[in-house]
């Protein structure tokens, strides 16, 4: 669990040591600064070395052999390991048009619209004009050899080769838009399933999506659409016949635990709207149980909303690896809650939150769903107006947290 700082409401007591006094934290910050500086220098060199040309051949010639090899590999080309740079370039140029056109079969609206926006600028985008989200996705298109870095008028830019621009122009049809929408529906649902289930056998994907009226078709491969998108969204990966959530490190151990303790459990049938909500990075905060946790936790502690969100994130991941008791005790140690009533109150609030998290070991079911208890459990704590406040401030409840 990531350690955070917060304080009792209306008190100056610190729950944990200030990070500024931690030498290891300072060393870590210095290390990260060095890494970012090296990354920035590498990025600058990448743009400076790029050529301003819309010809794929010129772009490939300006790259190192390793970079050309990586593009060929990412495009799925075979028998390339023994080729020298000139032979690699020749192979890429011979197969480029067909392979890139086929790549577009697996795109959804987001990827196509990002690429289509280059056409509005004659195939050029200035680095500083691209928003942060699109920049985070740009590496994918560079790895595919769809866009290339360069400079123009001393400004860093990305270029799209003319051949790719032509492919996009030809693809911009009603029929292709329907394909993009279909692919988006497949990917949106699977990305939700990935967050809920953690691990999904490749063989189970089609039947799982059929629950949501996504039917198998000879015209497209659901698994191929999902497989290609792993490099774009970077939320999951394919290994040994499974799609695995990228937050899972020891997936084989998790799979063994599922087969040992819960092998009779089916993938939990989750409401479609919930799956789609789970795609968003803030879905836990916006959920009913997340909002409830935020309200109750901030009633106990004087703490910023962003810090509560971080605690929610930490709890939701800790419960995947640990039991309920261990997860709660880790938080209680973090906040240094020594007051018995305070500990019991926090335990009730956290238990209610954790009982609504979809667990990988239960194939996407929550603790509430596994136990058959879908009602919210209220923390059992009775406080009189003149009793000491549960936050440990020493004040009466009516003059402290009870004021709210």
Name the band, by pLDDT with cuts 50, 70 and 90, for residue 376. very low
136-140, 242-246, 318-322, 395-399: which range is least confident on average?
395-399
CATH architecture for the domain at 174-278: Orthogonal Bundle (1.10)
- Name the percent of the chain lying above pLDDT 90: 71
Mean pLDDT in residue range 266-291: 96
Number of H helices, E strands in the chain: 18, 8
214-223, 243-252, 316-325, 393-402: which range is least confident on average?
393-402
Distance, C-alpha 55 to centroid of its chain: 35
CB neighbour burial string for 22-47, b if at least 16 within 10 angstroms, e if fewer: eeeeeeeeeeeeeeeeeeeeeeeebb
Q: In this structure, are residues 54 and 162 in contact, taking their beta carbons and an 8 Å threshold?
A: yes
Taking 50 as the threshold, does the pLDDT of residue 7 lie above it?
Answer: no
For residue 311 the two structure tokens come to 């605690």
* DSSP-H helix ranges across 262-356: 272-278, 283-286, 288-300, 305-321, 324-335, 340-354
Instruction: Give the residue among 21, 90, 25 at the shortest CA–CA distance from 61.
Output: 90
d(CA 195, CA 128): 33
d(CA 76, CA 224): 13
CA distances, 404 to each of 353, 398, 401 (Å): 22, 9, 6
321 vs 42: which has the higher pLDDT:
321
Taking 90 as the threshold, does the pLDDT of residue 119 lie above it?
Answer: yes
**In this structure, what are the phi and psi dihedrals at residue 228, rounded to the nearest 5 degrees?**
-65, -35
For residue 187 the two structure tokens come to 């990917």
* Cα-only R_g, the chain: 26
pLDDT tens for 338-357 read 788 888 999 999 999 999 99
Q: In this structure, are residues 320 and 367 in contact, taking their beta carbons and an 8 Å threshold?
A: no
Q: What pLDDT, on a 0 to 100 scale, did the predictor assign at position 338?
A: 76
CA distances, 170 to each of 97, 164, 166, 180 (Å): 13, 10, 6, 14
313 vs 390: which has the higher pLDDT:
313
* Max CA separation in the chain (angstroms): 84
Name the band, by pLDDT with cuts 50, 70 and 90, for residue 333. confident
d(CA 165, CA 142): 15
Name the band, by pLDDT with cuts 50, 70 and 90, for residue 302. confident
pTM equals 0.80
pLDDT tens for 211-249 read 999 987 766 799 999 999 999 999 999 999 999 999 999
Q: In this structure, are residues 342 and 392 in contact, taking their beta carbons and an 8 Å threshold?
A: yes
In the DSSP assignment, the letter for residue 265 is: P
For residue 244 the two structure tokens come to 């695995």
**In this structure, what are the phi and psi dihedrals at residue 388, rounded to the nearest 5 degrees?**
-60, 145
Q: In this structure, are residues 148 and 159 in contact, taking their beta carbons and an 8 Å threshold?
A: yes
Distance, C-alpha 297 to centroid of its chain: 25
Q: In this structure, are residues 268 and 368 in contact, taking their beta carbons and an 8 Å threshold?
A: no
Give residue limits of the domains in the chain: 53-171, 174-278, 288-355+374-403
What DSSP letter does each residue of 203-239 carry, written as one string? GGHHHHHHTTT---BTTB-HHHHHHHHHHHH-SEEEE
pLDDT tens for 147-198 read 999 999 989 999 999 999 999 999 989 999 999 999 999 999 999 999 999 9
Q: What pLDDT, on a 0 to 100 scale, did the predictor assign at position 324?
A: 95
28 Cβ contact partners less than 8 Å away, ≥ 6 residues apart: none
In the DSSP assignment, the letter for residue 198 is: S
**In this structure, what are the phi and psi dihedrals at residue 65, rounded to the nearest 5 degrees?**
-60, -40
Name the band, by pLDDT with cuts 50, 70 and 90, for residue 48. confident
Name the band, by pLDDT with cuts 50, 70 and 90, for residue 16. very low
Taking 50 as the threshold, does the pLDDT of residue 49 lie above it?
Answer: yes
Name the band, by pLDDT with cuts 50, 70 and 90, for residue 385. low
Q: Helix or strand or coil: residue 242? A: strand
Query: Average per-residue pLDDT in the chain?
Result: 85
Residue 122's region, left for phi above 0, alpha for psi from -120 to 50, else beta, is: left
Q: What pLDDT, on a 0 to 100 scale, did the predictor assign at position 403?
A: 57
């Amino acid at each position: 669990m990531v350690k955070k700082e917060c304080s009792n409401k209306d008190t100056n007591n610190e729950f944990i040591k200030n990070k500024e006094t931690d030498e290891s934290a300072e060393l870590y910050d210095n290390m990260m600064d060095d890494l970012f500086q090296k990354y920035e220098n590498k990025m600058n060199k990448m743009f400076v070395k790029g050529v301003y040309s819309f010809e794929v051949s010129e772009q490939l010639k300006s790259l190192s052999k390793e970079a050309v090899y990586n593009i060929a590999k990412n495009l799925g080309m075979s028998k390339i390991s023994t080729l020298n740079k000139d032979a690699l370039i020749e192979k890429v140029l011979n197969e480029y048009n067909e392979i890139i056109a086929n790549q577009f079969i697996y795109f959804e609206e987001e990827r196509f619209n990002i690429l289509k926006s280059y056409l509005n600028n004659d195939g050029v985008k200035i680095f500083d004009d691209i928003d942060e989200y699109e920049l985070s996705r740009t590496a994918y298109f560079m790895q595919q050899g769809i866009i290339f870095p360069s400079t123009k008028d001393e400004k860093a830019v990305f270029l799209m080769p003319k051949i790719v621009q032509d492919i996009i122009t030809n693809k911009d049809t009603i029929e292709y838009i329907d394909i993009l929408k279909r692919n988006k529906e497949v990917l949106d649902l699977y990305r939700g399933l990935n967050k809920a289930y953690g691990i999904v056998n490749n063989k189970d994907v089609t039947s799982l999506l059929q629950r949501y009226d996504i039917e198998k078709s000879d015209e497209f491969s659901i698994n191929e659409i999902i497989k290609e998108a792993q490099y774009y969204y970077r939320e999951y990966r394919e290994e040994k016949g499974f799609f695995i959530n990228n937050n899972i490190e020891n997936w084989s151990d998790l799979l063994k635990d599922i087969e040992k303790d819960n092998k009779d459990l089916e993938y939990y049938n989750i409401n479609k709207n919930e799956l789609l909500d789970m795609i968003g990075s803030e879905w836990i905060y916006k959920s009913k149980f997340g909002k409830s946790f935020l309200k109750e936790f901030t009633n106990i502690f004087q703490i910023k909303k962003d810090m509560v969100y971080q605690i929610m994130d930490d709890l939701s991941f800790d419960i995947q690896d640990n039991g309920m008791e261990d997860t709660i005790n880790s938080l209680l140690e973090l906040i240094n809650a020594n007051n018995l009533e305070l500990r019991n109150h926090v335990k009730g609030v956290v238990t209610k939150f954790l009982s609504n998290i979809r667990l990988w070991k239960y194939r996407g079911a929550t603790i509430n769903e596994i136990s058959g208890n879908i009602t919210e459990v209220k923390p059992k704590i009775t406080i009189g107006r003149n009793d000491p406040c549960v936050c440990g401030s020493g004040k009466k409840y009516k003059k402290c947290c009870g004021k709210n």
